[in-house]
Structure 1
Amino acid sequence: MPSNIDRYKKDFERLLRDAVLIEQSFSYSCFGKEYEAAVLKSYKGDEDAAKKHMDALPNFSTTYQSWYSECLALIKQLLPDRLNDFIRHYEKPKGRKDIGFENYRIEDALQGLRITRYGDEIVADPRSATSHLQQQVAILRSIKARFESSLFDIRQLVQADLLDSELDAARELLRHKFMRAAGAVAGVVLEKHLAQVCAARNIKLTKKHPTIADFNDALKNADVIETPQWRFHQHLGDIRNLCDHNKSTEPSAEQISDLIGGVAKVTKTLF
């Protein structure tokens, strides 16, 4: 089974390949005839080859949205200090009153927004977002250095592999009807992950031996998670406690399955 690092590398390489096509597609949609002329020149006047190249380009508007969402997830995990920069190149600035070249963003380009003055003078149009797309691709490319750098902290990725293995063990216990043992293992995985998230975000806890509830409360108080997610973690913790402490009520297979599935979701979505 491939490790999390291998999966991240594979996703990174695919997104980087897609980025080349997305940049070309954006240039084609923005510059039209100028882009066609440049492609034709690159193919040394071979019109058939140039046409084949342009016909193969994806639709920018639909392809970009999917690419952007996947990039967000990857950058959030591997390059979190650049996540806000990546988003800033896409989103309209909050509180923007007037639109000009300086504050025009990819989100505006996707809407086809075109700003003019004095009738026909173009102030900003989709071409104004070209540098923002280039910067997003540059941020994505910088992930490669994180894979290769000896300074890259891979503790989170290694722990993610370990937690995956422990969840697989919990699933196997459930398959053999060892309900309490399966729930206890899944509960430990949840506690470890919440502890790691708190540590990564420098959230200090005063208790010497904090529980799932303590980590959950700390994350909510630090505005890392919102109330619905806090309640979800609380629900998972309640099932775990049923396995560990309440000997009068036997946990059901459905409860344990919900616990294991819920913990798997948390480990893949909360960082």
Structure 2
Amino acid sequence: MTTAQDQIRAELKRLSNQGVNLFNAMQVEQFPENMESHFTQVLKKDYQAFLKTLPVFAQEYQIWYSAAQAVIRQFLPGRLQDFINLYEQPKGRKEIRSDNYVIEDYLKKVIITTGFDKKIVASPPDAIAVFQQQVNILNAVFDRLDNSLFEIRQVLQAELLDQELQVARQLAKGQFIRSAGALCGVILEKHFNELCHVHHIKVSKKNMLIKDYNELLKKHEVYAFETWRFIQYLGELWELSCRNKKEMPTAEEINDLINGTEKFIKTVF
């Protein structure tokens, strides 16, 4: 059976390979003669066949960047800003130099010269090392996944929440509707706290409710609008279960809350 971690690894591998292809495409664009010489004389490979495997950097980079950024935001949030800074033009940058040249400059084919002889001080080849750093940050996610302490924490958390979900189902089956709803709220709160821990999000407000966590995690782009709206619905069901003294949730509504809680804790991390 394919696990969630296996799926993540497969996606990481795909993005990593795509990054290598984009890196090679950059080198071909900037140093075609050197690359051809290396392939034909050193590697003894078919250079023309190799060229056919490469993407056009300007066409494929943004797709790769968006996907890689999402992965890093999810699993290595502490390096996300570093990753973004390698792409975006620095705010307040007064001059473009080789040491502050970024991918956005590369895509615009920016060339900076100085003096009467038009000596080049910054140009597209400077972005090759910059992109290599982006690929390195993405590849660091593999180490994050391999960290045994991280895995143990996640496994124990998942097992604990699974057990509590089973209790919630038993409560609902026994017609203890409000108790089942209250337990779902506890499960969601634990998972929210874990998400905040993993993504380095500070929770300053005491007595956070589901809607408070939902707004906080959406603000930090941990998940998209669709998930935010889904959690909003779960929060409404929880409110009905625990805070609305005049109306009792139906068995169907409490099952929606339990199933929705299970879906959330097993798909958002």
Same structural fold, with TM-score higher than 0.5 when normalized by the shorter chain:
yes
Identity of aligned residues (%): 32
C-alpha separation in 2, matches of 1:225 and 1:142: 21
What's the TM-score, normalizing by structure 2?
A: 0.71
TM superposition shift of 1:187 = 5.3
TM superposition shift of 1:267 = 7.8
Q: Please tell me whether the aligned partners of residues 194 and 215 of structure 1 are also in contact (alpha carbons under 8 angstroms).
A: yes
Deviation string 1:42-89 (CA, Å, 9 cap, x unpaired) is 343x6xx21111122111122222222222222222222222222221
C-alpha separation in 1, matches of 2:262 and 2:93: 40
C-alpha separation in 2, matches of 1:259 and 1:112: 53
SS of the residue corresponding to residue 120 of structure 2 reads strand
Structure 2 unaligned blocks of 5 or more: 170-174
C-alpha separation in 1, matches of 2:2 and 2:184: 21
Select between 92-101 and 153-162 the one with higher mean Cα deviation.
153-162
C-alpha separation in 1, matches of 2:109 and 2:266: 38
Q: Does residue 128 of structure 2 align to residue 130 of structure 1?
A: yes
C-alpha separation in 2, matches of 1:127 and 1:5: 36
SS of the residue corresponding to residue 123 of structure 1 reads strand
Counterpart AA for 1:97:
K
SS of the residue corresponding to residue 59 of structure 2 reads helix
SS of the residue corresponding to residue 122 of structure 1 reads strand
**What's the counterpart of residue 172 of structure 2?**
none
Aligned length: 253
Select between 18-27 and 63-72 the one with higher mean Cα deviation.
63-72
Q: Does residue 151 of structure 2 align to residue 154 of structure 1?
A: yes
Q: Please tell me whether the aligned partners of residues 189 and 263 of structure 1 are also in contact (alpha carbons under 8 angstroms).
A: no
**What's the counterpart of residue 145 of structure 1?**
143
Q: Please tell me whether the aligned partners of residues 88 and 103 of structure 2 are also in contact (alpha carbons under 8 angstroms).
A: yes
TM superposition shift of 1:24 = 0.6
TM superposition shift of 1:147 = 3.2
Q: 2:235 aligns with which of 234, 237, 258?
A: 237
TM superposition shift of 1:259 = 11
C-alpha separation in 2, matches of 1:252 and 1:122: 72
Counterpart AA for 1:56:
T
Deviation string 1:122-173 (CA, Å, 9 cap, x unpaired) is 22121111111111222223333333343x423674478669979x99xx9x
Name the CA shift for 1:249/1:25 in 2 (closer, same or farther; >3 Å).
same
Q: 1:115 aligns with which of 112, 117, 122?
A: 112
Counterpart AA for 1:146:
R
C-alpha separation in 1, matches of 2:120 and 2:191: 51
SS of the residue corresponding to residue 153 of structure 1 reads helix
Name the CA shift for 1:186/1:18 in 2 (closer, same or farther; >3 Å).
farther
What's the TM-score, normalizing by structure 1?
A: 0.70
TM superposition shift of 1:100 = 1.5
Q: 2:68 aligns with which of 47, 68, 71?
A: 71
Deviation string 1:14-47 (CA, Å, 9 cap, x unpaired) is 2222222111111111222332222222343x6x
Structure 1 unaligned blocks of 5 or more: 173-177
Q: Please tell me whether the aligned partners of residues 237 and 249 of structure 2 are also in contact (alpha carbons under 8 angstroms).
A: no
Q: Please tell me whether the aligned partners of residues 91 and 106 of structure 1 are also in contact (alpha carbons under 8 angstroms).
A: yes
SS of the residue corresponding to residue 100 of structure 1 reads coil
C-alpha separation in 1, matches of 2:23 and 2:86: 14
Counterpart AA for 2:193:
A
Counterpart mapping for 1:190-229 below 5 A: 190-200=188-198, 201=200, 202-207=202-207, 210-216=208-214, 219=216, 224=220
Counterpart mapping for 1:1-271 below 5 A: 2-44=2-44, 49-117=46-114, 118=116, 120-150=118-148, 152-154=149-151, 157-158=154-155, 190-200=188-198, 201=200, 202-207=202-207, 210-216=208-214, 219=216, 224=220, 232=229, 236-246=234-244, 248=247
Name the CA shift for 1:27/1:104 in 2 (closer, same or farther; >3 Å).
same
Q: Please tell me whether the aligned partners of residues 236 and 263 of structure 1 are also in contact (alpha carbons under 8 angstroms).
A: no
RMSD over equivalenced CA pairs, Å? 4.3
Counterpart AA for 2:98:
F
TM superposition shift of 1:188 = 5.5
C-alpha separation in 1, matches of 2:35 and 2:59: 20
TM superposition shift of 1:121 = 2.2
SS of the residue corresponding to residue 150 of structure 2 reads coil
Q: Please tell me whether the aligned partners of residues 43 and 50 of structure 1 are also in contact (alpha carbons under 8 angstroms).
A: no
C-alpha separation in 2, matches of 1:260 and 1:96: 50
